Amino acid sequence: MVAAIGCKKIKIVTVPQANKRRQLCRAIPEVTTKITLLVDDDVIWPETLLPWILAPFENSKVGGVGTCQRLLREETTNMWNFLGAIYLERRNFDCGSCTFMDGGLPCLSGRTVAYRTHILQDSDFTYGFTHETWRGCLLNADDDNFITRWMVNKGWNTYIQYHRECEVLTTLESGSRYLRQCQRWARSNWRSNLRSMLLEGSVWIRHPWSSYAVFQTTLTAGAIYDLFMFFSLGLASADSEWSPYWALIMTSLAVFWVFTKISKVSGHYLRYPSDICYVPLQIAFGIFHTFCIKIPAFCTMNETTWGSREGADTDNAYRLQRLPPRTNDARRLSEK
């Protein structure tokens, strides 16, 4: 392939295991430019992307820049294409709004992201990147989350270019593979967000709004709170002076509740008005996600399987490796 392109600047490097952390550590030392771009192989760029993704680096405090992402729409849309599209739409909303409010964001996605090369080539970063642990295991998954947390903890600013000129198109799975993909994302969110909030803590100080609006929602199961909200309001208003207006009160709450569910993805409905028929599906899937994906993901955080791509789990045992127990001598040495 390189020979066919005829460009001497292209170099292909490999590692024994198909693992992104190890692949990055092999390739990053080869980079000679000031900015490094990490790109998935299934994204489509607009011609305007490079100047737009590089622009925020004019601020010397910016260490990483992410992109706006949308799903490549099929000619005939279906429920899976719709669910994937609104997932990315919601993510764009969270990243863009948090960046605007206090400069925070949930995660710089590796679909297309740019970093200052010297940050990634720093020996401390390389050591931390290859020695992250989770519950007594060496963690070789969640690479995007680690790099994002590194930026926060080391004082670097991050930025999302929420513009059409910096918008990449990508693909997601469908059917049961999409559900397994969602479960993998949910497990990754649990591991990373718990570490950010409870172990590292920098995010609370640097990005308080983002901590409230995005990170702490990991600990809450929205559908459960919604059910209790309807139940408690209905119970409180049924036997009171407001009982004649009970139906109106409950209807008003229902309308407000639906509005909160679609507000983040309203941009998608404006672009594709025909998808409004999928609003009930969106709400139903949100409830399903809480009880059948998010809560089970919490109970299985030690799993790192993909299950959504052929051959993706060949080296799964490498993603989470049990570390040997530390001896008393090792503990004493580490304390020194």
Residue 224 belongs to a domain? no
Query: For residue 86, what are its two tokens?
Result: 């609104």
- Model pLDDT for residues 51-70, shown as the tens digit of each residue: 999 999 999 999 999 999 99
Work out how many domains the chain is built from and give that number.
1
pLDDT band at residue 327 under the 50/70/90 scheme: very low
246-279 in b/e form (b: 16+ CB < 10 A) is eeebeeebeeeeeeeeeebbeebbeeeeebeebe
> Quick one: pLDDT at residue 240?
72
> Quick one: pLDDT at residue 330?
40
Q: What is the mean pLDDT of residues 18-25?
A: 90
Distance set, CA 269 to CA 17, 272, 274 (Å) = 42, 5, 8
Q: Look over the chain and give the mean of its residue pLDDT values, rounded to a whole number.
A: 89
Measured N-to-C along each axis, helices 279-289 and 246-262 cross at an angle, to the nearest 10 degrees, of 90
226-234 contacts at long range (C-beta below 8 A, 24 or more positions apart): 226/257, 229/253, 229/257, 230/254, 230/257
- Model pLDDT for residues 76-86, shown as the tens digit of each residue: 889 999 999 99
Q: Which residue has the higher pLDDT, 317 or 19?
A: 19
Domain span at 121: 21-219+304-324
Q: What is the DSSP letter of 278?
A: G
Burial of 87 (0-12, 13-18, 19+ CB in 10 A): buried
pTM: 0.88
Residue 241 belongs to a domain? no
Q: How far apart are the C-alpha atoms of 185 and 111, rounded to whole Å?
A: 14
Residue 99 belongs to a domain? yes
Q: How far apart are the C-alpha atoms of 154 and 28, rounded to whole Å?
A: 19
Helix (H, G, I), strand (E, B) or coil at 253: helix
Q: Residue 191's CB: how many other CB atoms inside 10 A?
A: 23
Q: How far apart are the C-alpha atoms of 131 and 134, rounded to whole Å?
A: 10
The CATH number of residue 143's host domain is: 3.90.550
> Quick one: pLDDT at residue 332?
42
Residue 185 belongs to a domain? yes
**What percentage of the chain reaches a pLDDT higher than 70?**
92
- Model pLDDT for residues 93-130, shown as the tens digit of each residue: 999 999 999 999 999 999 999 999 999 999 999 999 99
With a cut of 50, say whether residue 335 has pLDDT above it.
Answer: no
Residue 331 belongs to a domain? no
With a cut of 50, say whether residue 333 has pLDDT above it.
Answer: no
Residues linked to residue 273 through DSSP beta bridges, in sequence order: none
pLDDT band at residue 317 under the 50/70/90 scheme: low
Residue 286 belongs to a domain? no
> Quick one: pLDDT at residue 324?
73
- Model pLDDT for residues 231-285, shown as the tens digit of each residue: 888 888 877 777 788 888 889 999 999 998 999 999 999 999 999 999 999 999 9
Residue 97 belongs to a domain? yes
pLDDT band at residue 309 under the 50/70/90 scheme: low
> Quick one: pLDDT at residue 320?
72
Residue 283 belongs to a domain? no
> Quick one: pLDDT at residue 271?
95
**What percentage of the chain reaches a pLDDT higher than 90?**
68
Q: What is the mean pLDDT of residues 26-40?
A: 96
- Model pLDDT for residues 184-242, shown as the tens digit of each residue: 999 999 999 999 999 999 999 999 999 999 998 888 767 788 888 888 888 888 777 77
